[in-house]
Amino acid sequence: MSIDKALSGTGSWLDDRLHGAKGLRTFFRKIFPDHWTFLLGEIALYSFIILLLTGTFLALFFKPSMTEVVYHGSYIKLDGVHMSEAYASTLNISFDVRGGLLMRQIHHWAADLFVAAILAHMLRIFFTGAYRKPREINWLIGLVLFTLSLLEGLFGYSLPDDLLSGAGLRITQGVLQSIPIVGTYLSFFLFGGQYPGTDIIPRLYILHVLLIPGLFMALIGAHLFIMFHQKHTQMPGKGRTNQNVVGAPMYPYFMAKTGAFFFFTFAVLALAATFAQINPVWLYGPYNPLAISAGSQPDFYMGFLEGALRIMPPWQWVVFGHTFAFNVFIPALLPLGGIMTAAALWPFLEQWITGDKNEHHVNDRPRNAPTRTALGMAAVSFYGVLWAEGANDVLAQHFNVPLYTITWIARFAVFLVPIFTYIITKRICLGLQRKDLHLIQHGVETGIVRQLPSGGFIEETRPLDEEELAALGRPVALALPSGEGGAEAEVPAPDMRGGLGRVKARLNKIVNESVPIDEHGANGHGANGHGANGHGANGHSATAEDHAAVSSGSDDEG
Amino acid sequence: MSDSTHGQGPGEPEEGSLPGAQGETGEESQGRHRVIGTPSPAESRLLLAETAGGSAPGLPAAKPRTLPADPQDMAGAKRAEKIVAACFILAMLAGFGFIASYVIFQVHSVTNVLHSNLALGTCMGLAFLLLGVGATIWVRRLMPYVELTEMRHPMRSEPENREAFADTFKEGADTSQFVKRPILRRTLIAATVPVAVAPIVLLRDLGPLPRESLDHTVWRKGMRLLNYGANTPIRPGDFSSPGGMITVVPDGFQNDFNALAKAACIIIKFAPGQVVYTDHDYPVPNLTVKNWTVDNIVCYSKICTHVGCPAALYEETTHHILCPCHQSTFDATRGAKVIFGPATRPLPQLPMTVDAEGYLVARSDFTEPVGPSFWERGNSS
């Protein structure tokens, strides 16, 4: 057999020592399902690799030191200026090392892409329900990775010790100092005394190049291993079930495609670094605690925290000689902490609400889980308002609106926009479900118009074929143990009794709100197509039979 | 976990079926799009033949599967091969171009760096782009597309394995005597507590304790105010007319960032009657302390009371001091009280007078901590 040939030479030598043939063969034929959104996580992974490569190059030249030096390098405008060695060596990398500027800019662009890709990947996982059992652990690891990426980014862009990043550090210190009880201690320990001191850059450096990347490697390793072990999820489609995984094998298809994708990622970053300037620290000048410029914006991923600080009204308590600086530590900790905590708890909360303890390997289309999608979009809009407020001065300037007006709008919008987004998203999802239902019941419009004997015109439709039908997926709906409307059932199931049970039943109703699909078309038109027209009708129209049909449909379709 | 992998190239004849196997599962998984070709049965390589058929109960036994060796459209494949090869050659040239650019383009000036960056980056970007394009065309045009199906198994282990594991675990725990000998267990746990705390203790020397250090700045009685940058002392008469804001620093500390991060101040000269004064010798809300000013020249801390950015913007017409970081706005004519933004406290006022030579000097340090709020600050004033 050709296996012998493949294993000859080096392969045979290695196998004699490592016993790898069987394991590697399993690895080679590992199946990877295909969908464009599955590439988002890959972008994050490849950005990380590019960050490691370019970061190593930069570390060869960067001097993480706050020792004051007088600059006499190639950037003449700063000749003779006192600055820290960190800033001077950054100028040196930019102007006196061949390829240094390119590497710096790739590194910075890659960092932005890294966080952006993580965010997008996370949203994909959320909106398709890919975090559900058995993938909760990987979801949690992902949340930690996202938080770490924000820290890593903040520490990284603080290293050059330029005026812009110095303002960022000053804000970080002010926030740290505001934390009740331990704030001043945290600040003094991190900065080695009073701000700014001379310790912060070397300390951030070792965190940035060793500790956090080490954590990244460990967690990304675990993330990938678990993903590999559990096998990838797949989008709904013909022949795709919770018991299988359909796609192309790792070797050669996936390897070749993902290799190409790595090259594309690197190419895009290299071209961005060539043609789009990023973080020109030489224009900002060295850090000076007395100076600042208007319109200072942090990197995009810090924008929502910056916005949270800007939006907060001046609230502060002094109780028994101690200061609660709500104006600082609430915006610094609450938005990120709130979103992260909610995201971490959601998979378990959803399991509790739906009573669904099954494994899920076929993803949901976002429209098919309207409540989840609406909650996710509400969180996105909350983040979005804070993010926009983080650039309120820039918005004020561009749109010629008074600065304070923008902040006042944002103060209300941060609460109202998520609520409206929730409602609108849910309506859109239900509308899209109805459109799907229409396709199922009435087929696809063919564009062929016929004249009836009576003289009227109708457009011909054709029914969906099996693949199209399967790709629509099914609305998420899972009955609680007692069936629909647990609290209303005559004899509630044990865990549906009492106050908590009623809460659960109520939440279950909200989560299960969907347009029921009755494929057999029995009374489809009257009862479903038009009867369940949004509003409260949906929750009630989801009868026990619908649930039975839906859950069996989503579990063993095909 | 051995998985039953099966699948087939689209249109592949079902000759490989095991007796009794149903073709259903394989057909379901056929690729829908980008179907390029079918394998020639004679040439197919038996890569995925060995499968644990029927390992998933209730499902048809998997068929042996092969990956197709050749694309259907051989002529098209030939063309694609040329395109891919061209991409790779160009990528190689771009790679050489990168090395050449490194040698040719020197740096050490802004213009040179610009050219070097353009040359290096373009070559690098093109090299990777062409590699990516080549590889993609290779996959899509030359590799026959197959879709295979792999069976999943519940993540939960089989009951017997779980039991066996539980037994083994218990066995080990028993053998180790960990359960039977509580004294060993408890002393071990007791021993690990200090070992776990020790690393935290080690961090203690990261910095000094805050103590009272945040309450004071370097300003002392009689210390001159220097015009920052020029580092010259200031006479009230130097102000020809009311107007802009000047940053001042304590004499002797003009280059000490640690001192300046708290001690930096701003002075503003007002016209008579513009400032709303109090006659008290301590700060009163919404008022400026008259005795701490000299000839309508007022001195406030430059460090924003929100999170410590320098409050560096001054609007002459409205007398507003604005911190550009988070837009806290202070009214300079009314004791720098907060009129907008997240800051909760006014910018502290520095007590000021003139010395024997007529230069502006501090009367004392600030009477309250400057800069952002902190836990121990309280109402201290």
Q: What is the pLDDT of residues A107-122, one digit of tens each?
A: 999 999 999 999 999 9
Tokens read off for A356: 């669904």
pLDDT of A537 above 90: no
Q: What is the pLDDT of residue B291?
A: 95
pLDDT digits (tens, 9 = 90+) for B66-85: 777 777 778 889 999 999 99
pLDDT digits (tens, 9 = 90+) for A173-197: 999 999 999 999 999 999 999 999 9
Q: Rounded CA gap, A538 and A516, in Å? A: 8
Sign of the Cα torsion A247, A248, A251, A255 reads negative
pLDDT of A22 above 70: yes
Q: How far is CA A142 from CA A7, A45, A126, A149, A227, in A?
A: 37, 12, 11, 10, 11
**Backbone φ, ψ for residue A82 (5° rounding):** -75, 135
Q: Which residues of A touch B129 (CB under 8 A)?
A: 263-264, 267, 271
Q: In this structure, how many other beta carbons lie within 10 angstroms of the beta carbon of residue A553?
A: 15
* Contact at CB, A74 and B107, closer than 8 angstroms: yes
Q: Is A253 on the interface with B (CB under 8 A)?
A: yes
A466: left (phi over 0), alpha (psi -120 to 50) or beta: alpha
Write b or e for each residue in A15-53: b if 16 or more Cβ atoms lie within 10 A of its Cβ, otherwise e.
eeeeeeeeebbeeebbbbbbeebbbbbbbbbbbbebbee
Q: What is the pLDDT of residue A14?
A: 86
Q: In this structure, how many other beta carbons lie within 10 angstroms of the beta carbon of residue A175?
A: 24
* Chosen from A24, A243, A244, A469 to mutate, greatest number of chain B CBs within 10 A: A244
Q: What is the pLDDT of residue B11?
A: 38
pLDDT of A514 above 60: yes
Burial of B193 (0-12, 13-18, 19+ CB in 10 A): exposed
Q: Is A174 on the interface with B (CB under 8 A)?
A: yes
Q: Which residues of A touch B207 (CB under 8 A)?
A: 188-193, 197, 199
Q: Rounded CA gap, A130 and A554, in Å? A: 15
* Chosen from B1, B99, B143, B152 to mutate, greatest number of chain A CBs within 10 A: B152
Tokens read off for A435: 């459109």
Nearest to A134 among B29, B155, B324 (CB): B155
**Backbone φ, ψ for residue B151 (5° rounding):** -85, 150
pLDDT of A527 above 50: no
Q: Rounded CA gap, A143 and A121, in Å? A: 11
- In chain B, the residue whose alpha carbon lies closest to the alpha carbon of A254 is B139
DSSP class of residue B287 equals -
Tokens read off for A548: 């039975």
Q: Rounded CA gap, A195 and A329, in Å? A: 18
Helix (H) or strand (E) holding A446: strand A444-451
pLDDT of A391 above 50: yes
Tokens read off for A26: 């399993």
Instruction: Give the percent of chain A with pLDDT over 70.
Output: 87
Q: Rounded CA gap, B297 and B243, in Å? A: 10
**Lowest-confidence pick of A229-238, A254-263, B41-50, B350-359:** B41-50
- In chain B, the residue whose alpha carbon lies closest to the alpha carbon of A30 is B150
CA–CA–CA angle A265, A267, A271 (5° rounding): 120
Q: Using N-to-C axis directions, what is the helix angle for A85-96 and A39-61, rounded to 10°? A: 100
Nearest to B264 among A194, A289, A293 (CB): A289
Q: In this structure, how many other beta carbons lie within 10 angstroms of the beta carbon of residue A424?
A: 14
First to last CA, chain B: 71
What CATH architecture is A33-236+247-363?
Up-down Bundle (1.20)
- In chain B, the residue whose alpha carbon lies closest to the alpha carbon of A271 is B125
Nearest to A191 among B56, B207, B228 (CB): B207
Residues A82-89: what's their mean pLDDT?
Answer: 96
- In chain A, the residue whose alpha carbon lies closest to the alpha carbon of B131 is A263
Spatial CA neighbour of A65 closest among A194, A192, A161, A169: A161
Instruction: Give the percent of chain A with pLDDT over 90.
Output: 68
Nearest to B117 among A177, A274, A306 (CB): A274
Task: Answer whether A246's CB lies under 8 Å from B29's CB.
Answer: yes
Q: Which residues of A touch B150 (CB under 8 A)?
A: 29-31, 231, 244-246
Q: Residue with structure tokens 């109805």?
A: A434
Q: What is the pLDDT of residue A535?
A: 38
Q: How far is CA B235 from CA A331, A519, B84, B264, B271, in A?
A: 43, 89, 77, 18, 16
Write b or e for each residue in B310-323: b if 16 or more Cβ atoms lie within 10 A of its Cβ, otherwise e.
bbbbbeeeebbbbb
Max distance between CA atoms of chain B, in angstroms, equals 112
* Contact at CB, B326 and A310, closer than 8 angstroms: yes
Q: Which residues of A touch B306 (CB under 8 A)?
A: 174, 309, 327-328
Q: Which residues of A touch B52 (CB under 8 A)?
A: none
* Contact at CB, A321 and B379, closer than 8 angstroms: yes
Q: Is A86 on the interface with B (CB under 8 A)?
A: no
**Lowest-confidence pick of A253-267, A321-335, A400-414, A521-535:** A521-535
Residue A500: pLDDT band (50, 70, 90) is confident
Find residue A147's DSSP bridge partners. Answer: none
Mean pLDDT per 10-residue segment, chain B (381 residues): 41 36 38 39 36 41 61 85 97 98 95 96 98 95 87 92 95 91 94 92 93 93 94 91 90 93 95 94 94 95 95 92 93 95 95 95 95 87 47
Task: Answer whether A274's CB lies under 8 Å from B248's CB.
Answer: no
* Chosen from B117, B140, B301, B337 to mutate, greatest number of chain A CBs within 10 A: B117
* Chosen from B216, B374, B381 to mutate, greatest number of chain A CBs within 10 A: B374
Nearest to A292 among B118, B255, B324 (CB): B324
Q: Which residues of A touch B309 (CB under 8 A)?
A: 167, 170-171, 174, 292
pLDDT of A552 above 70: no
Distance from CA of B276 to the nearest CA of A (A): 23
A543: left (phi over 0), alpha (psi -120 to 50) or beta: beta
Q: Rounded CA gap, B105 and B102, in Å? A: 6
Between these two residues, A487 and A96, which has the higher pLDDT value?
A: A96
Q: Rounded CA gap, A54 and A93, in Å? A: 12
Q: What is the pLDDT of residue B69?
A: 76
Q: What is the pLDDT of residue A53?
A: 97
Alpha-carbon torsion angle B306, B312, B315, B321, nearest 10: 30
* Chains A, B: CB pairs < 8 Å: 309
Q: Rounded CA gap, A516 and B374, in Å? A: 56
pLDDT digits (tens, 9 = 90+) for B103-150: 999 999 999 999 999 999 999 999 999 999 999 999 999 988 888 899
Nearest to A192 among B121, B207, B302 (CB): B207
Distance from CA of B213 to the nearest CA of A (A): 8
* Contact at CB, A260 and B136, closer than 8 angstroms: yes
Q: How far is CA A161 from CA A204, A310, A369, in A?
A: 11, 24, 47
Residues A66-78: what's their mean pLDDT?
Answer: 95
* Chosen from A135, A170, A404 to mutate, greatest number of chain B CBs within 10 A: A170
Residue A295: pLDDT band (50, 70, 90) is low
* Contact at CB, B102 and A98, closer than 8 angstroms: yes
Nearest to B155 among A1, A230, A294 (CB): A230
Residue A202: is the preceding peptide bond cis (ω within 30°)?
no
Task: Answer whether A25's CB lies under 8 Å from A48's CB.
Answer: no
* Contact at CB, A239 and B28, closer than 8 angstroms: yes
* Contact at CB, B313 and A294, closer than 8 angstroms: yes
Task: Answer whether B360's CB lies under 8 Å from B298's CB.
Answer: no
Find residue A244's DSSP bridge partners. Answer: B151
Q: What is the pLDDT of residue A477?
A: 60
Q: What is the mean pLDDT of chain A?
A: 87
